[in-house]
Structure 1
Amino acid sequence: MKIWLIGAYGIVSTTAMAGQKAIEKELIDKTGLVSELPQFEGIDKYAPLKIDFGGHEIRPKSNAYEALLEHWEANKHFDKEILEAVREDLEKIVARKGTAINCGEGVRALGKLETLEDENKTLGEIVDQLSKDMKSFADDETVVINTASTEPMIKYEEKYHGSLDGFEKMIEEDKKEYASASMLYAYAALKNRLPYGNFTPSVGTNIPALKELAIENKVPHAGNDGKTGETLVKTTLAPMFAYRNLEVVGWMSYNILGDLDGLVLSFKENKESKVVSKDKVLEKIFGYSPYSITQIEYFPSLVDNKTAFDFVHFKGFMGKLMKFYFIWDAIDAIVAAPLVIDIARFLIFAKKKGMYGVIKELGFFFKSPMDTDEVNTHKQFEILVNWFQRNR
Structure 2
Amino acid sequence: MKVWLIGAYGIVSTTAMVGGKALEKNIIDKVGLVSELPFFSGIDKYAPLSFEFGGHDVRPMDNAYAASLDHWEQNRHFERHILEEVRDYLEGVKAAKGTALNCGSGIEELGKIETLEQEGLTLREIADRLTEDMKKFADDETVVINTASTEPVPKYSEEYHGSIDGFERMLDDDAKEYATASMLYAYAALKLGLPYGNFTPSVGSNIPALKQLAIEKKVPHAGNDGKTGETLVKTTLAPMFLYRNLEVIGWMSYNILGDLDGKVLSHRDNKESKVVSKDKVLEKVLGYSPYSITEINYFPSLVDNKTAFDFIHFKGFLGTKMKFYFIWDAIDAIVAAPLILDIARFLLVAKKKGLYGVIKELSFFFKSPMETDIVNTHQQFEMLKEWFSGLL
Same fold per superposition (TM over 0.5): yes
1:71 aligns with 2:57: no
**Cα displacement (A) at 1:110:** 3.3
Distance 1:218 1:172 in 2: 24
Q: CA deviation at 1:111?
A: 4.9
Change in Cα spacing, 1:193 to 1:116, as seen in structure 2 (3 Å) is closer
Tell me how far apart the structure 1 counterparts of residues 241 and 295 of structure 2 sit (CA, whole Å).
22
Is the 8 Å Cα contact of residues 308 and 329 (structure 2) preserved in structure 1?
yes
Cα distance in 2 for residues equivalent to 1:354 and 1:111: 43
Is 2:269 the partner of 1:269?
A: yes
Letter in 2 for 1:260: L
For the residues of structure 2 that align with 1:155 and 1:276, how far apart are their CA atoms? 16
d(CA) in 2 for partners of 1:53 and 1:116? 21
Equivalent positions of 1:157-236 (< 5 A) are 157-236=157-236
Task: Tell me, in whole angstroms, the C-alpha distance in 2 between the residues paired with 1:252 and 1:12.
Answer: 27
State how far apart, in whole Å, the 2-side matches of 1:81 and 1:56 are. 26
Note the C-alpha offset of 1:112.
Answer: 3.0
Counterpart residue identity of residue 298, structure 1: Y
Contact 1:59/1:111, CA 8 A, preserved across alignment: no
Match of 1:97 in 2: 97
Q: How many Å apart are 1:247 and its aligned residue?
A: 0.5
Percent of aligned positions that are identical: 75
Q: How does 1:121-160 map to 2 (within 5 A)?
A: 121-160=121-160
Match in the other structure for 2:295: 295
Q: Are the counterparts in 2 of residues 12 and 336 from structure 1 also a CA contact under 8 Å? A: yes
CA distance in 2, matches of 1:3, 1:116: 21
Supply the distance in 2 between the matched residues of 1:157 and 1:249 (Cα, whole angstroms): 38
Partner SS state of residue 296, structure 1: strand
- Distance in 2 (CA, whole Å) between partners of 1:287 and 1:157 is 31
Q: Is the 8 A contact 2:155 2:177 kept in 1?
A: no
Report the equivalent of 2:312: 312
How far does the alpha carbon of each residue in 1:252-287 deviate from its partner, in whole angstroms, 9 at most, with x for none? 000000001001001110001100110100000111
Is the alpha carbon distance of 1:209 and 1:34 closer, same or farther for their aligned partners in structure 2, counting shifts above 3 Å?
Answer: same
Cα deviation, residue 105, structure 1? 1.3
* In 1, Cα distance between equivalents of 2:112 and 2:317: 55
Letter in 2 for 1:341: L
Which whole-Å deviations, capped at 9, do the CAs of 1:346-379 have from their partners, x for residues lacking one?
0000000000000000000000000000000000
Cα deviation for residue 305 of structure 1 reads 0.1
Q: Quote the offset at 1:209 in angstroms.
A: 0.3
Deviations, residues 285-308 of structure 1 (Å, cap 9, x unaligned): 111100000000000000000000
Other-structure match for 2:117: 118
Q: TM-score, normalised by structure 2?
A: 0.99
Q: CA RMSD in A?
A: 0.8
8 Å CA contact 2:98–2:116 kept in 1: the answer is no
Mapped to 1, the partners of 2:67 and 2:34 lie a distance apart of 26
Q: Partners in 2 of 1:110 and 1:335 — Cα distance?
A: 25
User: Matches of 1:198 and 1:59 in 2, distance apart?
Assistant: 20
Aligned to 1:281: 281
**Counterpart AA for 2:122:** T
| Aligned counterparts of 1:264 and 1:198: Cα–Cα separation in 2 | 18
Q: In 2, Cα distance between the equivalents of 1:145 and 1:242?
A: 34
Aligned length: 391
Residues 100-146 of structure 1: CA distance to partner in whole angstroms, max 9, x if unpaired? 00001111223534x85415221100000000000000000000000
After superposition, give the CA deviation of every residue in 1:201-244 in whole Å (9 maximum; x if it has no partner). 00000000000000000000000000000000000000000000
Q: Is the 8 A contact 1:231 1:278 kept in 2?
A: yes
Alpha-carbon distance between aligned partners in 1 of 2:311 and 2:138, rounded to the nearest angstrom: 46
- TM-score for the superposition, normalised by structure 1: 0.99
Please state whether the residue corresponding to 1:193 is helix, strand or coil: coil
Contact kept? 1:58, 1:111, Cα under 8 Å: no
Cα distance in 2 between the residues matched to 1:12 and 1:132: 24
Structure 1: state its 5+ residue gaps.
Answer: none
2:361–2:387 Cα contact (<8 Å) kept: yes
Distance 2:189 2:83 in 1: 30
Paired amino acid for 2:363: G
Aligned pair 1:30/2:34, yes or no? Answer: no
